[in-house]
Amino acid sequence: MGAALISFVAENIMSQRKISVCPHDCPSTCSLDVEVLDDRTIGKVYGNKGHSYTAGVICAKVSRYAERIHHPDRLMHPLKRVGSRGVGIASYERISWDDALDTIAENFSDIIKTHGAEAIWPFHYAGTMGYVQRDGLDRFRHCLGTSRQHSTFCVTLADAGWKAGTGSKRGSDARLINKSELVVVWGGNPVSTQVNVMHHLSQARRESNAKLVVVDPYKTKTADKADLHLMLKPGTDGALACAVMNVLIEENLLDLEYLNKHTDFNAQVAEHLSSRTPAWAAAITGLSENDIVEFARLYGSTKRSFLRMGYGFSRSRNGATNMHAVSCLPAMTGAWLEEGGGALYSQSDIYGLDKTLISGLDVPHAHNRLFDQSRIGPILCGNPEDLQGGPPVKALFVQNTNPAVVAPDTNKVLKGLAREDLFTVVHEQFMTDTAKWADIVLPATMFLEHNDIYTAGAHTSIQLGPKLIEPPGECRSNHDVFIALSERLGLSHPANDMTERELIDRTLKATSLPGIEELEKTGNLDCALEFESANFATGFENTDKRFHFSPDWSLQGAHAEGMPALPDHWDVIDKPSDDCPMRLVTAPARQFLNTSFTETASSVRMEKQPYALLHPNDMARYKLTPGELVLLGNELGEVAIEAKLFNGVQEGTVVVESLWPNSYFVNGIGINSLISAEPGKPNGGAVFHDTAVWVRSYAPAKAKPEELIMAEAH
Ligand SMILES: Nc1nc2c(c(=O)[nH]1)N[C@H]1C(S)=C(S)[C@@H](COP(=O)(O)OP(=O)(O)OC[C@H]3O[C@@H](n4cnc5c(=O)[nH]c(N)nc54)[C@H](O)[C@@H]3O)O[C@H]1N2
Ligand SMILES: Nc1nc2c(c(=O)[nH]1)N[C@H]1C(S)=C(S)[C@@H](COP(=O)(O)OP(=O)(O)OC[C@H]3O[C@@H](n4cnc5c(=O)[nH]c(N)nc54)[C@H](O)[C@@H]3O)O[C@H]1N2
Ligand code: SF4
Ligand SMILES: [Mo]
């Protein structure tokens, strides 16, 4: 047999296809069909055709997963820093797992003796969305009594806004999009961030000639496909939503019966909205009155309208109020009662997985200090208010996240990570910008190398991601690391005596669901509610069962002061000023998943480099030429980046698709150095798209000519 034939046989006959699930922090949580070539190697990754939401469609970057999982730069062995800390300065040498774990345990024990356990901050986010590998860190926190974390990178503002009206984080089944006559994608970019929406939309287009409206400050790949793109100024969605409601009332396009039966809508709300005219909103949003009215008429006259709400428009100081204002729309028209109608932000609340074992919720623990993760910069820099009278953070244990790039206020984060007296451990798959500051780096498994279970935001199933191949080198799963570390620190918990599979089985059964063997047969368990419950026809999840136009914000967080009592434009954003006349949007790049995939060559090749997308008139105003390097800046930092001419954005808004590692910027620091760590209200939440900046030509300080230096010296 020739070599080509042998490899053909190996790939097509010997290989097997196994069902798994995408572990990344993406609402789609796609069911995957993975080509397993042998017990250490995968081939191509496909979308599972048998899963009713995935329907065989996944994004390109995950179809190329072999490139990430078999990457030559994967961390394979524990490493210890030798010499000084710092990116490009630190060097690392290989050590054994025993040495690494002993060093961590010794340092933690010393810190506890001197400063107390709250001086240790185990810091994580959603690099994997698997419950076992993501939330085990909570158990470790509870057992050791360390500082805890308020997770505010992503959903906090959106959750508050959505729940203010509906009472529960769930919504219409996205598989019914195919029955819709109008799909409104509001503040999301599914072509890049959750491709399956586009698949279900294309069915709706085929079956009922559905229209697509996109509300986004720039012409994304999704907006490109829209029948109507409302290209508003960032942070002004509340104004647009109110003006739409104004037209619905003025033109009698509302469903009074629905409003009376299912909502708290009353004369006061109507009176308030009567002043929120299209002209009023046009001045705030920068949209034309015509476009606002056209959209309102389309929405008001199409009952089968599906509102797919993204996170984008909640990442502002007024994000929760914007989310709430937009969520009022299907209550105005009664679209909730239609198949293919209503709204979806996320389905997270339908699962109710019992996390007692995984998160160690049964451990009797004092309510240790809770840190806002988005304020990691000020916290590490010792800001007294953030430290809440407790000890400074003396040790960080980082898993599943890359705060040196993703957190707000990068300059402060890096200043904190540079502290000589901070002991930092990073458990990672790659030498990320965060790992480059660590004292100890531990190599982590990827999702196909360990077992886990996953729930989804965009659909309704619990899925099993079984271990399909052996990990490379000495990579260990997060679960295994907790067990080994807990042993050394003398911590015991029943979950630490369980394998990943046992922990999954016990968690499912504690939730009154079939166990792992049942899940293994099908790969997924559909937890969808009946249509009537899903679309709140049987009541919203508020005590009065009604949708709330007048929300009680204090139920959503402790900082509700000053929030508007009714849907409105809440004018608290970082407004353009003489000093900082532009507004910055830092939307996700298509080929990356936050910072994941910034290490794979194909993704980087396709994204090429970071760009500042600028309107031609802004280019002219600041005397810039396309392709030249510009500086974006504000009081927090400066970023050097190539300017790109872009027509699909309002004047005064600049877009930088993210999240590139710091080294891809000409001055070595990334886009989040411009983002404030100020928490949104009422419950915190990072304000990634709420930033005023200045723009100017980048003129790096040129070396002075020698004669000038000589002249100055005399
Ligand atoms: N390819 C890719 N996919 C991803 C990610 C990624 O980085 N890359 N990240 C994953 C994660 S963690 C998440 S949370 C989701 C997020 O996915 P999305 O829900 O799509 O949310 P955002 O990332 O915030 O931004 C989406 C859009 O919101 C727009 N936007 C920004 N400000 C405003 C505003 O004020 N009003 C309106 N109407 N729109 C605004 C942006 O321009 C952008 O096009 O995607 C996930 N999927
Ligand atoms: N400017 C700007 N900033 C943003 C955003 C934005 O839109 N604009 N989006 C924000 C949002 S929505 C989010 S969710 C955050 C996300 O920020 P992060 O949660 O930090 O997301 P990633 O950058 O993907 O980093 C996850 C890391 O976890 C590692 N990892 C994955 N699986 C495992 C595992 O099993 N074990 C261990 N030990 N490590 C693992 C990966 O290698 C990767 O380096 O970023 C936020 N930052
Ligand atoms: S990143 Fe999102 S779209 Fe891509 S495979 Fe994973 S879940 Fe699906
Ligand atoms: Mo996110």
Q: What is the pLDDT of residues 122-158, one digit of tens each?
A: 999 999 999 999 999 999 999 999 999 999 999 999 9
On whether the CB atoms of residues 615 and 581 are closer than 8 A, the answer is: no
pLDDT higher for 622 or 708?
A: 622
CA nearest ligand 3 atom 4, residue: 59
Overall average pLDDT of the 527-543 stretch: 98
Closest ligand relative to 127 C-alpha: 2
Best residue for ligand 1 mutational test, from 22, 25, 26, 228 (most atoms within 8 Å of Cβ): 26
Listed in sequence order, the residues at least 6 apart from 154 whose beta carbon sits closer than 8 Å to its beta carbon are 25, 125, 126, 311, 686
Best residue for ligand 2 mutational test, from 76, 313, 316, 402 (most atoms within 8 Å of Cβ): 402
Cα–ligand 2 centroid distance for 88 (angstroms): 22
Q: H or E element: which one contains 413? A: helix 410-417
Residue 323 Cβ contacting ligand 3 at under 6 Å:
no
Residue 495 Cβ contacting ligand 3 at under 6 Å:
no
Q: How far is CA 137 from CA 134, 146, 454, 479, in A?
A: 7, 11, 16, 9
Q: Within a 10 A sphere around the Cβ of 39, how many other Cβ atoms?
A: 8
pLDDT given at position 712: 44
Please, which pLDDT band fits residue 50 given cuts at 50, 70 and 90? very high
Q: Which residues of 530-548 are buried (b: 16+ CB within 10 A; e: fewer)?
A: ebeebbbbeebebeeebbb
Best residue for ligand 1 mutational test, from 58, 292, 311 (most atoms within 8 Å of Cβ): 311
Residue 191 Cβ contacting ligand 3 at under 6 Å:
no
Closest ligand relative to 47 C-alpha: 3
What is the 8-class DSSP label of residue 327? H
Give the span between the Cα atoms of 408 and 675, in whole angstroms.
5
Above pLDDT 90, what percent of the chain? 93
DSSP helix/strand/coil, 122? strand
Q: In what order do the strands lie in the sheet with 461-465?
A: 452-454, 461-465, 524-526
pLDDT given at position 709: 45
pLDDT given at position 367: 78
Q: Which atom of ligand 2 lies closest to the CA of 406? A: 47
CA nearest ligand 1 atom 20, residue: 188
Residues making up the chain, counted from first to last? 714
Cα–ligand 4 centroid distance for 253 (angstroms): 35
Cα–ligand 1 centroid distance for 528 (angstroms): 25
Residue 29 Cβ contacting ligand 3 at under 6 Å:
yes
Residue 198 Cβ contacting ligand 3 at under 6 Å:
no
Q: Within a 10 A sphere around the Cβ of 88, how many other Cβ atoms?
A: 8
Cα–ligand 3 centroid distance for 595 (angstroms): 14
Give the span between the Cα atoms of 326 and 316, in whole angstroms.
14
Closest CA to 495 of 505, 503, 484, 487: 503
Residue 22 Cβ contacting ligand 3 at under 6 Å:
yes
Give the span between the Cα atoms of 701 and 697, in whole angstroms.
12
Give the span between the Cα atoms of 215 and 226, in whole angstroms.
10
Q: Within a 10 A sphere around the Cβ of 376, how many other Cβ atoms?
A: 30
Residue 111 Cβ contacting ligand 3 at under 6 Å:
no
Residue with tokens 């572990």: 23
Omega prior to 700 cis, within 30 of 0: no
Give the span between the Cα atoms of 259 and 383, in whole angstroms.
48
Please, what is the Cα angle at 496 between 492 and 502, to 5 degrees? 145
Cα–ligand 1 centroid distance for 231 (angstroms): 15
Best residue for ligand 3 mutational test, from 20, 21, 25, 26 (most atoms within 8 Å of Cβ): 26
Cα–ligand 4 centroid distance for 395 (angstroms): 25
Listed in sequence order, the residues at least 6 apart from 662 whose beta carbon sits closer than 8 Å to its beta carbon are 87, 404, 405, 410, 433, 668, 669, 670
Residue with tokens 């799909």: 183
Give the span between the Cα atoms of 83 and 584, in whole angstroms.
39
On whether the CB atoms of residues 211 and 643 are closer than 8 A, the answer is: no
Closest CA to 43 of 72, 73, 90, 10: 10
Overall average pLDDT of the 596-614 stretch: 97
pLDDT at 14 over 80: no
Overall average pLDDT of the 177-201 stretch: 95
Which residues form ligand 2's pocket by a CB distance below 6 Å?
25, 125-128, 133, 153-154, 399-402, 406, 427-430, 432, 444, 478, 586, 588, 593-596, 658-659, 671-672, 675, 688
Sign of the CA dihedral with 162 first, then 163, 169, and 175 last? negative
To 10 degrees, the CA torsion angle through 230, 194, 556, 564? 0
Please, which pLDDT band fits residue 10 given cuts at 50, 70 and 90? low
Cα–ligand 4 centroid distance for 25 (angstroms): 6
Q: Which atom of ligand 3 lies closest to the CA of 593? A: 1
pLDDT given at position 714: 41
Q: What is the pTM of this model?
A: 0.96
Closest ligand relative to 317 C-alpha: 1
Listed in sequence order, the residues at least 6 apart from 275 whose beta carbon sits closer than 8 Å to its beta carbon are none
Cα–ligand 4 centroid distance for 706 (angstroms): 51
Residue 62 Cβ contacting ligand 3 at under 6 Å:
yes
To 10 degrees, the CA torsion angle through 575, 581, 585, 589? -170
Cα–ligand 1 centroid distance for 406 (angstroms): 14
pLDDT at 519 over 90: yes
Mean pLDDT of the chain: 95
Overall average pLDDT of the 617-621 stretch: 97
Cα–ligand 1 centroid distance for 604 (angstroms): 19
Domains of the chain: 3-69 (3.30.200.210), 79-154+354-526 (3.40.50.740), 157-348 (3.40.228.10), 582-697 (2.40.40.20)
What is the 8-class DSSP label of residue 178? G
Please, which pLDDT band fits residue 637 given cuts at 50, 70 and 90? very high
Overall average pLDDT of the 12-38 stretch: 92
pLDDT given at position 376: 98
Q: Which residues of 484-515 are buried (b: 16+ CB within 10 A; e: fewer)?
A: bbbeebebebebbebebbebbbbbbeebebee
pLDDT given at position 558: 97
The backbone torsions φ and ψ at residue 162, rounded to the nearest 5 degrees and listed phi first, read -70, -45
Give the span between the Cα atoms of 669 and 340, in whole angstroms.
45
Residue 639 Cβ contacting ligand 3 at under 6 Å:
no
Which residues form ligand 1's pocket by a CB distance below 6 Å?
25-26, 154, 186-189, 192-193, 215-218, 220, 234-235, 237, 310-313, 315-316, 585, 587-590, 592-594, 689
Q: H or E element: which one contains 639? A: strand 637-645
Give the span between the Cα atoms of 324 and 331, in whole angstroms.
11
Give the span between the Cα atoms of 101 and 311, in whole angstroms.
38
CA nearest ligand 3 atom 7, residue: 29
Bridge partner residues of 607 (DSSP) = none
Listed in sequence order, the residues at least 6 apart from 513 whose beta carbon sits closer than 8 Å to its beta carbon are 462, 525
pLDDT at 711 over 50: no
Overall average pLDDT of the 695-701 stretch: 82
Give the span between the Cα atoms of 224 and 590, in whole angstroms.
14
pLDDT at 388 over 80: yes
Best residue for ligand 3 mutational test, from 31, 62, 592 (most atoms within 8 Å of Cβ): 62
How far the first Cα of the chain sits from its last, in Å, is 83
Please, which pLDDT band fits residue 575 given cuts at 50, 70 and 90? very high
